Amino acid sequence: MKLAVFSAKPYDRDYLTQVNTARSQADSPPPALELVFHDFPLSEETVPLAHGAGAVCAFVNDDLGEPVLAALADAGVRAILLRCAGYNHVDLAAAERLGLFVANVPAYSPEAVAEFAVALIQTLNRNTHRAYNRVREGNFRLDGLLGRTLHGKTVGVVGTGRIGLALARIMRAGFGCRVLAHDPYPSAELAGLGGEYVALDELLAESDFVSLHCPLTEATRHVICEASLGRMKPGAMLVNTSRGGLIRTRDVIAALKSKRLGGLALDVYEGEGAIFYNDHSADIIDDDELTRLMTFHNVLICGHQGFFAHEALGEIAECTLRNLEDFMRRVPCDNSLVREGHLLVRRESAPVRI
């Protein structure tokens, strides 16, 4: 089968090619797979390039809305392999109607993202991003770089799935923080890590650092807005490594301007689809909210790189090709979201399109 890989960066080519080669040399190799890489994202314009492929492999900012899925199905594509955990950008109901198979990579190195969230918290908290720039200019003054210790502070973890629990573990065992969490589906593991579930309002009111790790759904879109920001402890810091749509950007800008919010670290951004993963250093960035955010000294923005660790890329490539092998062998796939006409995720929690 031919697998058309969209939004393919050099590292995608490297890891998928290495894993495909290794798998083809195994004692009992999977059905043969030809990888075809496309640098550009999957969209209504680029979908014709999937002709002749039985499956496509997509990433977080590829368009997997109904028109694209319908065009893929018309072109003979039968399977969509997401090389990411989030599936908020996929119209799963349309995939179900079209009889497509959709699978994701739900569980690659949660530490890759959790440790990245810790890096963001520490950078923001101790101003190492500012120190780095100052020292490069020969300025060794410390004014404005004052931070706080994490020991004894309260960290609020919104969403205690794989990544949220990994963060809770690090913050509790590594830094001696008090960990509060909120999740409509609590995990028995949290108590063992020394964390405590509370209502979202209590988490917001008590936390010195709030870190978002819930998926983007109808229920969580803009969970951070004027009202919830108003409930946060004054001066608290907010970290989002989950999905940009969890935050209403114009409301965090207002909270930063009023100094109610003490700092913001984003690895994801609501409008990232048009900007992230590409070099815009010679362009005029046509997004006034993003450019306003970039002017605050206490805002740190990264281009959706929480997953970008060697261990995670290897696991993502392995799992993506294993999911496809399950589809090709017609055996149950643990990671299928839609299996040929059957939506397997809970309808009430089915994420929405951005």
Ligand X SMILES: NC(=O)c1ccc[n+]([C@@H]2O[C@H](COP(=O)([O-])OP(=O)(O)OC[C@H]3O[C@@H](n4cnc5c(N)ncnc54)[C@H](O)[C@@H]3O)[C@@H](O)[C@H]2O)c1
Q: Which residues here bind ligand X, judged by CB under 6 A? A: 85-86, 110, 113, 158-164, 182-185, 213-215, 219-220, 241-243, 267-268, 304, 306-307
Q: Collapsing DSSP states into helix, strand and coil, what is residue 184? A: coil
If the CB atoms of residues 54 and 91 are measured against ligand X, the closer one turns out to be: 91
Residue nearest to ligand X as judged by C-beta position? 161
Return the structure tokens found at 62: 């590829």
Closest distance of CB 85 from ligand X, Å: 4
Closest distance of CB 282 from ligand X, Å: 26
Strand order in the sheet with 196-197: 196-197, 178-182, 154-158, 209-212, 237-240, 263-266, 299-301
If the CB atoms of residues 46 and 109 are measured against ligand X, the closer one turns out to be: 109
Closest distance of CB 1 from ligand X, Å: 27
Instruction: Single out the residue of 129, 204, 209, 123 nearest to residue 171, CA to CA.
Output: 209
Query: Does residue 218 have an active-site annotation?
Result: no
- Residue of 96, 111, 270, 272 marked catalytic: 272
Closest distance of CB 248 from ligand X, Å: 15
- One-letter amino acid identity for 83? R
Query: Does residue 329 have an active-site annotation?
Result: no
CB within 8 Å of 13: residues ≥ 6 apart = 5, 37
Closest distance of CB 178 from ligand X, Å: 18
CB within 8 Å of 327: residues ≥ 6 apart = 55, 78, 79, 101, 103, 333, 336
If the CB atoms of residues 44 and 334 are measured against ligand X, the closer one turns out to be: 334
- Residue of 243, 248, 322, 339 marked catalytic: 243
Distance CA 39, CA 31 (A): 25
Strands (E), the chain: 2-5, 34-37, 55-58, 79-82, 101-103, 154-158, 178-182, 196-197, 209-212, 237-240, 263-266, 299-301, 336-339, 342-343
If the CB atoms of residues 183 and 326 are measured against ligand X, the closer one turns out to be: 183
If the CB atoms of residues 53 and 102 are measured against ligand X, the closer one turns out to be: 102
Q: For the chain, how big is the Rg over CA atoms in Å?
A: 21
Task: Confirm if 6 and 56 have CB atoms less than 8 A apart.
Answer: yes
DSSP assigned state of 247: B
**Active site residue ranges:** 243, 272
